[in-house]
Amino acid sequence: MATRFGDWLNERSGWRAAYTMVFLRKIPKINWAYTLGSATLFAMIIQIVTGILLTLYYVPDPQLAYASVGYITNELPFGWLIRGLHHWGASAMVLLVVLHMVRVIIYGAYKYPREFTWITGVALLLLTFSFGFTGYLLPWDQRAYWATVVGTQIGEVTPVVGDTLRAVMLGGEEISGLTLSRFYGAHVWVLPSVLLLLVGIHIYLVIRNGITSVPKRGE
């Protein structure tokens, strides 16, 4: 029965070829450092799932944001777990992305034929930091507010466009409800869209080109 359904579906989707290509492909012998990429992917999935759950309760409004985060943390059943995972998952993401990148550099894995994979990886690193920066403001507590004040003012030093950049980010001269909306929009809609696109390309390239072997001395 299952086989017949599988055949039926395969005729219409070619899933067996995809399955073979993804799961049954042969991989050179590698070590534990090669799990950093999949761990990063897993951390990202945690962030997406917990992030979606958080949006169910979070209100991106200066009057209500703090209270809604308080509600999630202290009253919502397992809210502490959802927010805790999202909070610590963010740190884990940054740490894993950096370690993953270091591994790639040390093994020379950015070389032919994986240059494009590398470029998408650099973009994903910057994206991860952007997630961290925009997400930091959302709880709307003292630490969130003042870190953003300092962060955006530091950016203002940028020659020529600094002032404009800050005004666009904040939606004015000062941090306001508009700033919160913008950071929320970026954190929840803009950045994730770009992230999923880039991650998709990144993983496709990894499967297509295969993973590098551990270089031997002299190689």
Partner 1 sequence: MKSEEREEYLKEYDEKKKKGVPFWPDIIFKDVLVSFLLFLILVALAYFLGSSLEEIADPSDANYTPRPEWYFLFLFQLLKFFPGDLEVVGVIVLPVIAIIFLILLPWTDRSKRRHPSGRPVVTGITVAGLVAAIFLTVQAIEEAPLPASATAEGDRVAALYVENCAGCHGPTVIVAPGTDLFAVISAGTHEGMPSWNSDLSADEIDALVGFLLAPNGNEVFAAACAECHTLDQLIEADAIDLRSALELGTGFAPHADAAIPDWKGLLSAAEQAQLLNFLTAPDGQRLWTQLCAACHGRSVAVSGDEAALRDLIVKGGGHLDMPAFGGTLVDTDIQALAIYVMDQTAYPAGEGLFAQHCSSCHAQRVPTAGSLDEAVAAIARGGAHEDMPVWGEILTDEQIGALVAYVFQAADLPDLAGGEDLFAQNCAACHGELGEGGPNPARAGDIIAPISTAEYLRTRDDQTLRAIVSQGQPNFGMSPFGDSFGGPLNDEQIDTIVAFLRAWEADPPVELPPDVPAVPQSTSSGREVYQQLCAQCHGDRGQGGIGTAFGEQAWQSANSDSAIFDAINLGHEATAMIAWGEILTSQQIEQLVAYIRTLNSSGSATGAPTFVGDVLPIFQASCAACHGSLGGWTGTNYEDALNTGEGGPTILPGDPDNSRLVQTLVGTHPDGIVMPPSGALSDTDVQTIVDWIAAGAPER
* Apex 9 CA angle, 6 and 13, nearest 5: 130
Buried b (16+ CB within 10 A) or exposed e, 184-204: bebbbeebbeebeebbebbbe
Q: How far is the CB of 23 from partner 1 (least distance, A)?
A: 4
Q: Which of residues 12 and 143 has its CB atom nearest to partner 1 in the complex? A: 143
DSSP summary character for residue 175? -
Return d(Cα 205, Cα 210) in angstroms, integer.
Answer: 8
Q: Which of residues 106 and 197 has its CB atom nearest to partner 1 in the complex? A: 106
Q: How far is the CB of 202 from partner 1 (least distance, A)?
A: 15
Q: Which of residues 43 and 205 has its CB atom nearest to partner 1 in the complex? A: 43
> What are the angstrom distances between the C-alpha of 85 and each of 80, 92, 135, 157?
8, 10, 14, 34
Q: Which of residues 1 and 101 has its CB atom nearest to partner 1 in the complex? A: 101
Q: How far is the CB of 50 from partner 1 (least distance, A)?
A: 10
Residue 48's CB: how many other CB atoms inside 10 A? 15
Contact 169, 158 (CB under 8 A): no
Q: How far is the CB of 207 from partner 1 (least distance, A)?
A: 9
DSSP summary character for residue 190? I
Q: How far is the CB of 45 from partner 1 (least distance, A)?
A: 9
Q: Strand, coil or helix: what is 39?
A: helix
Q: Which of residues 77 and 159 has its CB atom nearest to partner 1 in the complex? A: 159
